[in-house]
């Protein structure tokens, strides 16, 4: 464990250095990082033309999607593509030869990139929160501390889910398609497509039990002060439960899958 803690900072640092190496990629990364604001624009139009749905005001949508932008950039989904490319090309061999488990190498690589984009995004969102009317969050320190934990849980779960799916690559070449199917279905139950409060009852009930809300809707709803203590504890419990489930699934899949690795080429 101590070795891992020693290896994490330089690995994250190296990934951050890679992230800032190419200006074009940085600019494109920042632009795509603001995609949730497009969804917000659609909802604001709906509110303007048809009135607030289910009591959600313009300010609510502003607050929701500004926070959703933060979560959009705090997702570990990207590791699926890295794993997949490395398994196909055989470059996973290079990672397997290092005395740090590949999971941590992909995680630190992703984290380094996330931190660079967040370093640009967070000040922008903070300024927007101060200047844009209607964009408002409760300033309760206990609540903000809980949000910080929920954000860490969101990132950890999305990373672990994506990494577990990536291991499908030991059996199939359809890893990324399988992940897109899972993520696409999950986007309805996470709060990406629309806030869960606006979804049908049956979907809200299902979403409360599924892992997707932990990675998006739960931290946003918490930050907006829409959850009471019981709902907050329940949200954390579901998230931690899924984290444990995916940790176990990852472990089992890795042990079985690595035996099948063919280390192609070279």
Residue numbers 18-37 binding another protein by CB under 8 A? 18, 21-22
**CB-nearer residue toward another protein: 18 or 132:** 18
**CB-nearer residue toward another protein: 102 or 195:** 102
Residue numbers 64-93 binding another protein by CB under 8 A? 90-91, 93
Asked if 229 and 143 count as a contact pair (C-beta separation under 8 A), the reply is no
Residue 3 within binding range of another protein, rule CB under 8 A: yes
CA distance 86 to 98: 15
Residue 259 within binding range of another protein, rule CB under 8 A: yes
CA distance 244 to 81: 23
Query: How many other CB atoms are found less than 10 A from the CB of residue 188?
Result: 17
Residue 262 within binding range of another protein, rule CB under 8 A: yes
Contact characters 219-258, another protein, x per CB under 8 A = ---------------------------------------x
Residue 6 within binding range of another protein, rule CB under 8 A: yes
**CB-nearer residue toward another protein: 7 or 240:** 7
- Angle between the 229-257 and 201-209 helix axes, to the nearest 10 degrees? 60
**CB-nearer residue toward another protein: 4 or 149:** 4
CA distance 199 to 202: 8
**CB-nearer residue toward another protein: 39 or 109:** 109
Residue 172 within binding range of another protein, rule CB under 8 A: no
**From 7-15, 27-35, 55-63, 202-210, span contacting another protein (CB under 8 A):** 7-15
- Residues in the interface with another protein (CB under 8 A) total 27
Query: How many other CB atoms are found less than 10 A from the CB of residue 50?
Result: 8
Question: Closest separation between CB of residue 104 and another protein, Å?
Answer: 10
Query: How many other CB atoms are found less than 10 A from the CB of residue 40?
Result: 19
Question: Closest separation between CB of residue 133 and another protein, Å?
Answer: 42
Residues listed for the chain: 266
Asked if 157 and 250 count as a contact pair (C-beta separation under 8 A), the reply is no
List, in order, residues 6 or more apart from 7 with CB less than 8 Å away. Answer: 100, 104, 108
**CB-nearer residue toward another protein: 200 or 266:** 266
Residue 134 within binding range of another protein, rule CB under 8 A: no
Token look-up 């931690």 returns 240
Token look-up 């070449």 returns 173
Residue 98 within binding range of another protein, rule CB under 8 A: yes
Residue numbers 135-154 binding another protein by CB under 8 A? none
List, in order, residues 6 or more apart from 11 with CB less than 8 Å away. Answer: 100, 104, 105, 108, 109, 112
CA distance 235 to 12: 29
What stretch of H or E contains 34?
Answer: none
Which residues in this chain contact another protein in the complex, by CB under 8 A?
Answer: 3, 6-7, 9-11, 14, 17-18, 21-22, 90-91, 93-94, 96-100, 258-259, 261-263, 265-266
């Amino acid at each position: 464990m101590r070795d891992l803690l020693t290896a994490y900072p330089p690995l994250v640092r190296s990934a951050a250095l890679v992230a800032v190496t190419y200006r074009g990629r940085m600019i494109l990364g920042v632009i795509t990082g603001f995609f949730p604001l497009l969804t917000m624009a659609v909802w604001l139009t709906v509110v303007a033309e048809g009135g607030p749905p289910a009591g959600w005001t313009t300010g609510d949508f502003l607050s929701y999607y500004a926070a959703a932008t933060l979560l959009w950039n705090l997702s570990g989904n990207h590791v699926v593509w890295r794993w997949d490319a490395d398994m196909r090309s055989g470059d996973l061999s290079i990672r397997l030869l290092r005395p740090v488990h590949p999971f941590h190498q992909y995680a630190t690589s992703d984290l380094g990139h996330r931190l660079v984009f967040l370093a640009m995004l967070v000040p922008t969102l903070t300024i927007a929160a101060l200047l844009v009317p209607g964009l408002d969050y409760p300033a309760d320190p206990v609540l903000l501390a809980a949000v910080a934990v929920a954000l860490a849980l969101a990132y950890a779960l999305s990373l672990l889910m994506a990494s577990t799916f990536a291991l499908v690559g030991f059996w199939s070449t359809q890893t990324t398609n399988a992940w897109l199917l899972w993520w696409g279905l999950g986007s309805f139950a996470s709060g990406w497509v629309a806030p869960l409060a606006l979804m049908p009852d049956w979907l809200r009930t299902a979403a409360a039990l599924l892992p997707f809300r932990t990675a998006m809707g739960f931290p946003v709803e918490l930050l907006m002060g829409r959850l009471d203590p019981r709902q907050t504890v329940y949200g954390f419990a579901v998230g931690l439960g899924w984290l444990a489930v995916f940790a176990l699934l990852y472990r089992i899949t890795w042990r079985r899958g690595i035996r099948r690795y063919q280390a192609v080429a070279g």
